[in-house]
Structure 1
Amino acid sequence: MQMNLERLRKVAIPDRPELRVLALSTLINTFGNGLFMTIEVIYFTTVVGLSPSKVALALSIAGGISLLFSVPAGHLSDRYGPRNIGAISYIFEGMFLSCLVFVHSYLPFLFINIICGITGTVGQTMRMATISKLGTGEERVNIRAYQRTVTNFGIALGSVIAGIALGINTKSVYQGMLLANALTFILSSLVFLKLPFIAPTVEKSEPLSFEALKDRRFLGATVLNGFMSLHFVLQGVAIPLWIVNETNAPRWWVSVIMVINTIGVVLFQIRVSRGSGDIAVGALQFRRAGFAVAGACLLYALAAGVSTILACSILVLAMCAHVFGELVGSAGSWSIGFGLADEKHQGQYQGVYSLSWGVGGTIGPAFVTAMAITIGQLGWVYMAILFATTGLVMYRLVMKRWLVEQPVTK
């Protein structure tokens, strides 16, 4: 029993103090994210009175503008180090998020979301740059996997607390959640400052360079990663709409499906990511992800037009396949993103690579809704083809480069 507890402690708590600091900062921040994500749209539509379309438009505009700051943030990381800039970005984001309790109209809501989108992009780029400097190869992927596990746990915990606020359903409680979220950013920044200072890799006197934007293979990998990242949008947008509108499964089955996803990531992301430090293994993982998510899409399509019990069963199988694809795809994506990057310009490269998730999150909702809801079952087949093809092409792109430099064992 004691041996099992010790093993659990080693898995749950990193040995290196800097990794514990990074994990604590992430946990505090993502707990706030869970609070905010659960109530944001509901508060601003039902309490403030903004229309759902205006809220969605503001979030899309903010997301699009924030993408423009991803690469410049990477430059800042390479020249000045990621720690201090990351902490400053969290402080500013927390300050502006606290102002949301004073918002009563559209333009202030839009302005604050744009500022928070920019600071959020800078902060995330600094966090990724920090991970790239705290290890090499296998270590980086393992650190990223642990961070993702902490992220999911933090968001889930925050969502549970926010669920209580939804049950109480008063303006003051909602605003309390907004302020609590803002406070988590301030606290997260203070913890982030406890990380060791990471020396810049680019001299301040050196002229600006755009090495990542000149690297065609890396740009290709970024585009392909963007296509694969659409499966995250499926979970948040298309799958709930599909279950509610096109299947005979009960509405609450959406929660069951999402719980399966959260538990799967928390329990297995670290284990599945082991061994992915080798970029050849990462490419293979990415290819597996393409096939797994493609299979999940076909299963989601089959859940329409069948009995309630059968629909529920198919949806569980689909999400299990989806979770597997998410686990191996994330590990493969991190391996490729770190492995193809130039060490001197890791911050810049991670800034470019993060564009893949940003673009996917910006245009993804409209795309997956059109595929799954407007087109229907055939749209799920199209998406299955897209994911499978993306995995295959990424595998070829990565292996082609590495076969030139050194032998690669499949």
Structure 2
Amino acid sequence: MPTLRTAATGLLRDLIPAPGAERRMGVLTLAQSLGTGLFLTSSAVFFTRTVGLSADSVSVAMSIAGLCGFLATIPGGRVADRLGARRPLAASYALLAALFVAYGFIDEIGEFTIVACAIAVCETVGSPLRAALTHALFGSARSAGVRARMRSLYNLGFTGGAALAGAALATGSRSAFLLVLTGNAVLQLLCAVITVRLRPAGPEVAGSGAGRSWAAFRDGRFLLATVVSGVLELFQPVLAVGVPLWVVNRTHAPVALVAALTIVNTVLVVLLQVAASKGSDTVSGSGRLLLRSGLLMALACGMFAASGNGTGTTWAVVLLITGTAVMTLGELAQSAGGWGLSFTLPPEGRMGEYQGVFGLGRGLQQFFGPALVIMLPLGMGTFGWLILATVFLLAGLTAHWAFARDTPSELPAHPTPTPSP
């Protein structure tokens, strides 16, 4: 028992950011994720039932917004190299606050589409800006570890926001909807204030980052890292779309298990992301993490395949819970390995540009992932799961071949700055 208590204490301690810039980043992450969980969990219901927009029109509008956000990824990275990441990121949070307030005055689909596109651009641009700011604050050696801690906090905040959204949905009134929008806007403004106070110790703009460049697209090794990481990110539609539909349509497991699987995933991410990120401060360590990710995800797909209709209820439940836990461990390794490569491979002065390109892998997964998951496991059954397992396995082996063979003693590509208090 003392050993278990010590281990649990250590995991919880990992969630607490160090004083100074890292702790401010933690507060920023909690505020952002709380607002995101609050809004995303309730917005579709409110816009269709309270505002009166049709579900089909909202779906089309969100697809258009997703495309706008995808196209803004690389320009967002270039902004970080040209102007520094801190002020543009703060401006994006402030603009998001205004846009969420604007949602409260919308009553037709054209207005909704315009605001949704603007929000998608701000949110998508924020990703490379946050990554570039993280690197400016903590350097290559610490950035992946900081991102790991922030991801744990993000899941914690998102879960809290989703719980608050449940209370708002229970009311179902327009007043509750306006309260959700106002709360999210206030949290976005708080993020803007915190971002302004996150001042790197060194210069915010590297001298070589002023001009336009397509260096990231000419960097074959970085592009390979982008593709491999994007392929492994297929765990997201697998857990969010594939497994729930598989449980409902292809297994004898109870439908209520879907909620339990979501809880298993969330708890493991919150508790283990920091511990699972060991080794992500070097290229070779990141390559080994991606190999581990591919192996674990392939194993999880095999477990999901074995839980099909030919398996009894009890074994189906055991296989689905175990498979979700194994897939989540692969998710943790993928996140850490992807962050590690995205921070250690870019050259000096091009961090924003490279982060923007790296985000394209995630964007492509978001576009094609749900359809691929439905076409393979849901359309082809067990054989579809095995195809998906092969894809994960090949991605992990490719990462091992391309990155894990670097010497373990390699130094980070850039020095680690000391953030100003």
If the length of structure 2 is used for normalisation, what is the TM-score?
Answer: 0.90
Partners in 2 of 1:241 and 1:47 — Cα distance?
28
Given the superposition, is the C-alpha separation of residues 194 and 6 from structure 1 closer, same or farther in structure 2, using an over 3 Å criterion?
A: farther
Give 2:44's match in structure 1, choosing from 18, 28, 41: 41
What is the CA deviation profile of residues 95-150 of structure 1, one whole-angstrom value per residue up to 9, with x for unaligned ones? Answer: 11221122222222211111011111122211110111222344111111011111
Partners in 1 of 2:301 and 2:97 — Cα distance?
38
Pairing of 1:204-353 with structure 2 (within 5 A) = 206-305=210-309, 306-353=311-358
Count of residues in Structure 1 that have an aligned counterpart in Structure 2: 404
Q: Hey, what does 2:145 align to over in structure 1?
A: 142
Give 1:369's match in structure 2, choosing from 371, 374, 383: 374
Q: Which piece of structure 1 moves more, 25-34 or 364-373?
A: 364-373
Q: Hey, what does 1:189 align to over in structure 2?
A: 192
Partners in 2 of 1:239 and 1:57 — Cα distance?
24
Q: Hey, what does 1:356 align to over in structure 2?
A: 361
Partners in 1 of 2:11 and 2:250 — Cα distance?
42
For the 8 Å contact 2:209–2:350, the answer to whether it is kept is no
SS of corresponding position for 1:343 = coil
For the 8 Å contact 2:36–2:161, the answer to whether it is kept is yes
SS of corresponding position for 1:344 = coil
Pairing of 1:376-387 with structure 2 (within 5 A) = 376-387=381-392
What is the CA deviation profile of residues 365-409 of structure 1, one whole-angstrom value per residue up to 9, with x for unaligned ones? Answer: 222122232233222111111111111112212246x47x979xx
For the 8 Å contact 1:79–1:204, the answer to whether it is kept is no
For the 8 Å contact 1:32–1:181, the answer to whether it is kept is yes
1:6 is displaced (CA, Å) by 8.9
SS of corresponding position for 1:119 = helix
For the 8 Å contact 1:80–1:199, the answer to whether it is kept is no
Supply the AA of the counterpart residue of 1:377. T
Establish whether residue 108 from structure 1 lines up as the match of residue 107 from structure 2: no
Partners in 1 of 2:41 and 2:156 — Cα distance?
15
SS of corresponding position for 2:350 = helix
- What percent identity do the matched residue pairs reach? 31
1:84 is displaced (CA, Å) by 0.7
Given the superposition, is the C-alpha separation of residues 126 and 406 from structure 1 closer, same or farther in structure 2, using an over 3 Å criterion?
A: closer
Supply the AA of the counterpart residue of 2:386. V
1:204 is displaced (CA, Å) by 8.5
Partners in 2 of 1:79 and 1:211 — Cα distance?
15
For the 8 Å contact 1:79–1:200, the answer to whether it is kept is no
Supply the AA of the counterpart residue of 2:78. H
For the 8 Å contact 1:299–1:315, the answer to whether it is kept is yes
Supply the AA of the counterpart residue of 1:346. M
Partners in 2 of 1:96 and 1:155 — Cα distance?
20
Give 1:117's match in structure 2, choosing from 104, 115, 120: 120
What is the CA deviation profile of residues 261-313 of structure 1, one whole-angstrom value per residue up to 9, with x for unaligned ones? Answer: 01001111111112321211110110110111111112112222133222211
What is the CA deviation profile of residues 199-244 of structure 1, one whole-angstrom value per residue up to 9, with x for unaligned ones? Answer: 2344499431222122111112111211111111222222222212
Supply the AA of the counterpart residue of 1:232. Q
Pairing of 1:66-81 with structure 2 (within 5 A) = 66-81=69-84
What is the CA deviation profile of residues 153-188 of structure 1, one whole-angstrom value per residue up to 9, with x for unaligned ones? Answer: 110111111122223333321332132122211111
CA RMSD in angstroms, aligned pairs only: 2.4
Q: Which piece of structure 1 moves more, 335-344 or 254-263?
A: 335-344
Given the superposition, is the C-alpha separation of residues 146 and 206 from structure 1 closer, same or farther in structure 2, using an over 3 Å criterion?
A: closer
1:25 is displaced (CA, Å) by 0.8
Given the superposition, is the C-alpha separation of residues 394 and 6 from structure 1 closer, same or farther in structure 2, using an over 3 Å criterion?
A: closer
Unaligned runs of 5+ in 2: 412-421
For the 8 Å contact 1:87–1:123, the answer to whether it is kept is no
Given the superposition, is the C-alpha separation of residues 168 and 310 from structure 1 closer, same or farther in structure 2, using an over 3 Å criterion?
A: farther
Partners in 1 of 2:209 and 2:370 — Cα distance?
42
